[in-house]
């Protein structure tokens, strides 16, 4: 029964268009199906984790405007599970197209490491010291100014440690510049953090915000290994400040859907690392660990439905990614009566590839 006064803009039964066909799209489509929606996935590859659970899918490059226009005609709302999608074709869809949520504006800020730092700083956040770098010469100068260990990251298109090189003042800037493909980049001072955490929130079309407990995230080789709530220690002490910042960022973007901000917990306060205008790997624990998962609340938000409770279902939760051949642990994980196993159906288990995850609640 729908509460009086709640405006349903896109009711169950409608079709949600998801751009990107990876595991985030798969889990979004599964949450959408539970609420009675159909999903149509737009994916440039011949198959993908999300295409296998969607009612329909379009196989075309992200910048194929004719295919995007047909996709837009076939769906009631458009969302994305991947932020390295060209923004212009989405902006060009025109007035008659279904809403794109989160808006292309959120996407534009979040896909540019320099723009997201400036945007978050404008809302009172503290990014790591950083320099925009457009050539090997500029990199040499920035390294000199930094005076200590740094991370060079491409401005656009990087993820999971791809497009990143660690370097120190004595290192050869030309080699680092070549290693990231000579693309526009940001040099960041290395942050001596005590721990890493993220803030995941869902913001409704009406501006309502729901936030989950901030997980403690542990990375290995630049890839998320584990997320755990409650985070404890320094993270618990900094979560309220970081959550308030994330709320201001979401409001300033007029963001609709899930938004994730990643932080380094440092002795002097939280340092902003990066943001994602979408559901996030560090929020997978919410599927079993929270009353409403990040995937369901994303669907609710983009469809104009009221958000569900983000409260913990147990005392806490721990999620571990299954990378590469770790997916072969499935028999042992199934034998653990407390493990919630998720496999994404990817056929090829390359090293570092996210093949699945497992969550324990309690």
* Residue 58 backbone phi and psi in degrees, to 5: -110, 130
Give the helix ranges, DSSP H, for the chain. 23-34, 65-74, 87-91, 104-110, 113-122, 136-146, 173-179, 233-253, 286-289, 294-302, 330-335
Options 17-25, 34-42, 48-56, 187-195: segment touching ligand AMP (CB under 6 A) = 187-195
If the CB atoms of residues 93 and 180 are measured against ligand AMP, the closer one turns out to be 180
Binding mask of the shown chain, residues 70 to 109, with x at each position contacting ligand AMP by CB under 6 A:
----------------------------------------
**Which positions ≥6 away from 264 have C-beta within 8 Å?**
128, 191, 193, 195, 196, 270, 271, 273
Q: Is 273 in the site for ligand AMP (CB under 6 A)?
A: yes
Q: What residues between 191 and 220 interact with ligand AMP by CB under 6 A? A: 191, 196, 219
Options 63-71, 89-97, 183-191, 310-318: segment touching ligand AMP (CB under 6 A) = 183-191
Minimum CB distance to ligand AMP, residue 191 (Å): 4
If the CB atoms of residues 103 and 260 are measured against ligand AMP, the closer one turns out to be 260
If the CB atoms of residues 262 and 326 are measured against ligand AMP, the closer one turns out to be 262
Give the H or E element holding residue 273. Answer: strand 269-276
Options 71-79, 190-198, 280-288, 343-351: segment touching ligand AMP (CB under 6 A) = 190-198
Binding mask of the shown chain, residues 145 to 164, with x at each position contacting ligand AMP by CB under 6 A:
------x---------x---
Q: Is 269 in the site for ligand AMP (CB under 6 A)?
A: no
Q: Can you give 77-133 as a three-state secondary structure string? A: EEEECCCCCCHHHHHCCCCCCCCECCCHHHHHHHCCHHHHHHHHHHCCCCECCEEEE
Under a CB-based contact definition with an 8 Å cutoff, are residues 118 and 252 in contact? no
If the CB atoms of residues 274 and 326 are measured against ligand AMP, the closer one turns out to be 274
Closest C-alpha to 195, from 279, 271, 246, 127: 271
CA–CA gap between residue 158 and residue 274 (Å, rounded): 11
Q: Is 222 in the site for ligand AMP (CB under 6 A)?
A: yes
Minimum CB distance to ligand AMP, residue 117 (Å): 11
Options 35-43, 54-62, 174-182, 189-197: segment touching ligand AMP (CB under 6 A) = 189-197
If the CB atoms of residues 10 and 128 are measured against ligand AMP, the closer one turns out to be 128
Burial letters for 223-252: b for 16+ Cβ neighbours within 10 Å, e otherwise?
bbebbbbbbeebbbebbeebbebbbebbee
Options 11-19, 71-79, 188-196, 328-336: segment touching ligand AMP (CB under 6 A) = 188-196
CA–CA gap between residue 323 and residue 313 (Å, rounded): 26
Cα torsion angle, 90, 91, 93, 95, sign: positive
Binding mask of the shown chain, residues 235 to 264, with x at each position contacting ligand AMP by CB under 6 A:
---------------------------x--
Minimum CB distance to ligand AMP, residue 118 (Å): 16
Contacts with ligand AMP, residue ranges (CB under 6 A): 128, 151, 161, 188, 190-191, 196, 219, 222, 262, 273-274
């Amino acid at each position: 029964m729908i509460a009086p006064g709640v405006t349903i803009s896109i009711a169950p039964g409608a079709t949600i268009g998801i751009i990107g066909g990876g595991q985030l799209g798969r889990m979004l489509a599964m949450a959408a199906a539970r609420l009675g929606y159909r999903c149509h996935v737009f994916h440039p590859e011949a198959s993908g984790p999300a295409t296998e659970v969607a009612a329909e899918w379009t196989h075309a490059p992200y910048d194929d405007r004719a295919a995007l226009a047909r996709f837009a005609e076939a769906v009631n709302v458009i969302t994305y599970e991947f932020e390295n999608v060209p923004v212009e074709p989405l902006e060009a869809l025109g007035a008659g197209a279904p809403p794109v949520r989160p808006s292309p504006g959120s996407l534009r800020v979040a896909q540019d490491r320099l723009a997201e730092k400036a945007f978050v700083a404008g809302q009172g956040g503290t990014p790591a010291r950083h320099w925009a770098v457009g050539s090997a010469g500029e990199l040499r100068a920035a390294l000199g100014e930094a005076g200590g260990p740094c991370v060079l990251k491409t401005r656009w298109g990087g993820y999971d440690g791809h497009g990143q090189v660690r370097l120190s003042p004595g290192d050869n800037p030309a080699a680092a510049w070549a290693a990231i493909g000579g693309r526009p980049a940001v040099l960041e001072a290395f942050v001596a953090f005590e721990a890493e955490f993220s803030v995941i929130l869902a913001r409704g079309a009406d501006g309502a915000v729901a936030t989950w407990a901030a997980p403690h995230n542990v990375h290995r080789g630049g890839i998320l290994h584990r997320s755990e709530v409650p985070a404890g220690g320094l993270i618990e002490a900094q979560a309220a400040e970081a959550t308030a910042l994330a709320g201001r960022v979401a409001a300033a973007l007029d963001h609709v859907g899930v938004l994730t901000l990643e932080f380094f917990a440092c002795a002097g306060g939280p340092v902003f690392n990066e943001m994602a205008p979408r559901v996030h790997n560090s929020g997978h624990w919410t599927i079993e660990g929270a009353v409403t998962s990040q995937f369901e609340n994303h669907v609710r938000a983009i469809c104009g439905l009221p958000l569900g409770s983000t409260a913990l279902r147990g005392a806490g939760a721990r999620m571990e990614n299954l990378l590469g051949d770790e997916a072969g642990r499935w028999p042992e994980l199934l034998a653990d009566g407390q493990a919630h196993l998720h496999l994404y159906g990817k056929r090829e288990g390359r090293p570092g590839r996210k093949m699945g995850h497992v969550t324990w609640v309690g």
